[in-house]
A and B are shown apart, each in its own frame.
Chain A
């Protein structure tokens, strides 16, 4: 891969903030993204923190409306980018990327980083690609915004990227329009576009949800290989626990705009410490296990983000809401507490109670 080195690596120092720059490559601290609407304040993300190192993959799982996509758009700085008058999103917290705080940084500076230091793969390539321009034009545009090169060089780079993501006859397909590509090919083209500037942080928001399983397998393989090759940090957002298990080093489970469990993939799958994670695991029919008679669904439906239940957001659906004393689940919001090395969960039940319920009641049924 021809490395057109990142020029201008020396960035302007960020505005001085209270807390010191973290050592992690990406650190999100107490991120809140709220949207004012006529019906009330939608608290899509309500206090989310995590860190991610280069070369690692973080999987964010949760149901629709749990705040996964809003988090990713927040990191990319795409919520403030649009001006909707008074309806602007209210964002607070800190996002540190490689020593730069993004939320307080100059929008022009963030624009320079976007696409170059951090890039995104969207869920639906048909709506994320512009139908009027060829694939080549779109990749060239993404490249030339960040690199002062002429069109020929950029075009060569585009062909090279299309080739790298496995599009056959890249020198011909570079002049094709999105509608001439199949779903899987479009997603490959979009991956090529997002990687054209060698970003160090790649956010993939449901990258395979619109695809068939056989194509999904191809794309997941591609993402894994590219990550190895480029050594970037990857955040993969999905509702499919299978996809997360395939790719992630760490898993973050979101519910009602907050992280309810976070830890290494193995821990979250084998020693989950939050009833919602148990529910997700029980809801899913699995091909690798013997047939179970019945699935164990989570009762009820996800909460409204305008009226998040008081106390633990999961308490109306939690079968163990009455285990902790004094009705605490309905009044006090549980904080993330460490339940193992690098493993946190937000639940009022004691560690022993959860361990007992998991090993005696949940695990045998899965």
Chain B
């Protein structure tokens, strides 16, 4: 391996990609963990932790990744940092394919992609001093910073708001928030281009969380960093991200600019996820009806549902959702969504109107106002589109089987009629909360 080892300038920042250019590009990325059984350890199945995702990270931005536990967000983080070997797909960093690079070929790249881990208690070696921990990247990469490693480590400690004199202390002498700062200092040691942070604040107390969030913010502005921040807390993600990817069972279901996503989520799952966040406002206790309760639990990633993976819990699911997987399409500029019947937008499969039985059960948990509002906004958007202002991408999905259960099901659900009429009487523009 040849490490050119340029002067890893603490002062000079060499950023190859200009802000806004694609830094990391991921196509069709998959990671299946085999399940082996028996004497011969034959593979009997696989946990499809990440199952075909595409996205890119632009230089200088923060991409937030949200989803429930088990949706594959952490696996995704480990794949793009190449801590795990992808099963399929490609990862390109600065135009270079790094999907299957070996350990030694990866080493020069490691300098550019660093990671901050969730648990500041287990990610720091308890037998090493802070100086050794933060100085380790220099030793591994054979980099001799200006003025020596010790001086550079002390500078890094002060950058993250720690006392440089604590150089010789051990991790147990620090609180949780301080340890997370140590982890951040270590990640920043080699002037990375991209930092992947996996739940960087979820182990911290609220008041400390805010300190670390602000620190990450400041560092990004000072050093021009690119972040991929993986978290389950939607309010933290909104605070830090420019764009947000929502994952469900190994897939990205929606990828959009922050403001678009939070103002008008298009995927029903995104909408449900956001409505589930408790609002710290006692006066809204009565406004609980806006909440969308999802039925049951996330299905197992060993045998994910066919078609759209959310169809087992979705209140808008129809026949097509069980058979055809919706592609991730850019329906609005800056908002990609994978859904046949998106919220706040024209229905992508308007022919298919019959709700599944499961969807009817799911809809019972959703307040009527929410359903009505959703139908109204979809209708309004559709009407605008019909007027010809914008021509949106046509749904590539074919109508699967509308007639099959049309007769028996049409009677009982009053909901579906409202939800299914694409262009109806109401022309008022979409009201957003």
Enumerate chain A interface residues (CB-CB to B < 8 A): 63-64, 168, 182-185, 212-218, 220-221, 239-246, 248, 265-266, 269, 279-288, 291-292, 294-299, 301-302
Is A285 touching B238 in the complex (CB atoms < 8 A)?
Answer: yes
Q: How far is the CA of A244 from the CA of B206 in the complex (A)?
A: 14
> Given A64-B205, A301-B175, is A288 in contact with B210 using a C-beta cutoff of 8 Å?
no
Q: How far is the CA of A294 from the CA of B213 in the complex (A)?
A: 9
Is B276 touching A216 in the complex (CB atoms < 8 A)?
Answer: yes
Is A279 touching B207 in the complex (CB atoms < 8 A)?
Answer: yes
Is B232 touching A295 in the complex (CB atoms < 8 A)?
Answer: no
Is A221 touching B207 in the complex (CB atoms < 8 A)?
Answer: no
Task: Give the distance to chain B from A120, nearest Cβ to Cβ, in Å.
Answer: 21
Enumerate chain B interface residues (CB-CB to A < 8 A): 68-69, 175, 177-178, 205-211, 213-214, 217, 232, 234-236, 238-239, 258-259, 262, 272-285, 288, 291, 293-294, 296-297
Of the A-B pairs whose beta carbons lie under 8 Å apart in the complex, a sample of 11, sorted by A's number, is: A63-B207, A213-B276, A217-B278, A221-B293, A266-B283, A269-B281, A287-B238, A291-B239, A291-B259, A294-B217, A297-B207
Q: How far is the CA of A286 from the CA of B284 in the complex (A)?
A: 13
Among B175, B178, B213, B276, point to the contact of A295 (Cβ < 8 A): B213
Is B210 touching A295 in the complex (CB atoms < 8 A)?
Answer: yes
Which residue among B205, B211, B259, B273 has the maximum number of chain A CB atoms within 10 Å of its CB?
A: B205
Is B276 touching A296 in the complex (CB atoms < 8 A)?
Answer: no
Is A295 touching B273 in the complex (CB atoms < 8 A)?
Answer: no
Q: A243-B278, A291-B238, A302-B205 are in contact. List 12 more A-B contacts (CB 8 A).
A: A63-B206, A214-B68, A215-B68, A218-B293, A242-B277, A245-B284, A282-B210, A284-B235, A285-B213, A285-B235, A288-B281, A297-B214
Is B279 touching A287 in the complex (CB atoms < 8 A)?
Answer: yes
Which 8 A-B pairs have CB atoms at the shortest separation, nearest pair first?
A: A242-B278, A297-B210, A283-B210, A285-B239, A298-B207, A265-B282, A217-B276, A295-B210
Q: How far is the CA of A277 from the CA of B297 in the complex (A)?
A: 35
Q: How far is the CA of A355 from the CA of B238 in the complex (A)?
A: 31
Which residue among A248, A281, A285 has the maximum number of chain B CB atoms within 10 Å of its CB?
A: A285
Is A284 touching B206 in the complex (CB atoms < 8 A)?
Answer: yes
Is B208 touching A296 in the complex (CB atoms < 8 A)?
Answer: no
Q: How far is the CA of A279 from the CA of B236 in the complex (A)?
A: 16
Q: List the B residue with the shortest CB-CB distance to A283.
A: B210
Task: Give the distance to chain A from B147, nearest Cβ to Cβ, in Å.
Answer: 30
Q: How far is the CA of A283 from the CA of B239 in the complex (A)?
A: 11
> Given A182-B297, A248-B282, A266-B282, is A212 in contact with B68 using a C-beta cutoff of 8 Å?
yes
**Residues of A contacting B207 with CB < 8 Å?**
63, 279-280, 283, 297-298, 302
Is B210 touching A212 in the complex (CB atoms < 8 A)?
Answer: no
Which residue among B207, B234, B294 has the maximum number of chain A CB atoms within 10 Å of its CB?
A: B207
Q: How far is the CA of A221 from the CA of B275 in the complex (A)?
A: 13
Is B277 touching A246 in the complex (CB atoms < 8 A)?
Answer: no
Q: How far is the CA of A124 from the CA of B285 in the complex (A)?
A: 26
**Residues of B contacting A248 with CB < 8 Å?**
282
Is A213 touching B273 in the complex (CB atoms < 8 A)?
Answer: yes
Q: How far is the CA of A242 from the CA of B68 in the complex (A)?
A: 18
**Residues of B contacting A281 with CB < 8 Å?**
280
> Given A64-B205, A285-B235, is A297 in contact with B276 using a C-beta cutoff of 8 Å?
no
**Residues of B contacting A220 with CB < 8 Å?**
278
Which residue among B258, B259, B276 has the maximum number of chain A CB atoms within 10 Å of its CB?
A: B276
Which residue among B236, B239, B262, B280 has the maximum number of chain A CB atoms within 10 Å of its CB?
A: B280
Q: How far is the CA of A167 from the CA of B428 in the complex (A)?
A: 42
Among B272, B284, B288, point to the contact of A288 (Cβ < 8 A): B284
Is B272 touching A214 in the complex (CB atoms < 8 A)?
Answer: yes
Is A242 touching B280 in the complex (CB atoms < 8 A)?
Answer: yes
> Given A63-B205, A266-B283, is A216 in contact with B278 using a C-beta cutoff of 8 Å?
yes
Q: How far is the CA of A193 from the CA of B279 in the complex (A)?
A: 29
Among B177, B239, B280, point to the contact of A269 (Cβ < 8 A): B280
Among A185, A240, A291, A294, point to the contact of B278 (Cβ < 8 A): A240
**Residues of A contacting B284 with CB < 8 Å?**
245, 288
> Given A295-B214, A295-B239, is A239 in contact with B206 using a C-beta cutoff of 8 Å?
yes
Task: Give the distance to chain B from A217, nearest Cβ to Cβ, in Å.
Answer: 4
Q: List the B residue with the shortest CB-CB distance to A302.
A: B205
Q: How far is the CA of A309 from the CA of B133 in the complex (A)?
A: 32
Which residue among B178, B274, B277, B278 has the maximum number of chain A CB atoms within 10 Å of its CB?
A: B278
Q: How far is the CA of A146 from the CA of B275 in the complex (A)?
A: 40
Q: List the A residue with the shortest CB-CB distance to B209.
A: A283
Q: How far is the CA of A225 from the CA of B32 in the complex (A)?
A: 41
Is A294 touching B68 in the complex (CB atoms < 8 A)?
Answer: no
Is A280 touching B285 in the complex (CB atoms < 8 A)?
Answer: no
> Given A297-B214, A301-B178, is A285 in contact with B277 using a C-beta cutoff of 8 Å?
no
Task: Give the distance to chain A from B125, nearest Cβ to Cβ, in Å.
Answer: 22
Among B175, B281, B297, point to the contact of A245 (Cβ < 8 A): B281
> Given A242-B279, A284-B206, A301-B175, is A213 in contact with B232 using a C-beta cutoff of 8 Å?
yes
**Residues of B contacting A302 with CB < 8 Å?**
175, 205, 207
Q: List the B residue with the shortest CB-CB distance to A240.
A: B278
**Residues of B contacting A212 with CB < 8 Å?**
68-69, 232
Q: List the A residue with the shortest CB-CB distance to B283.
A: A266
Task: Give the distance to chain A from B295, nearest Cβ to Cβ, in Å.
Answer: 9
**Residues of A contacting B69 with CB < 8 Å?**
183, 212
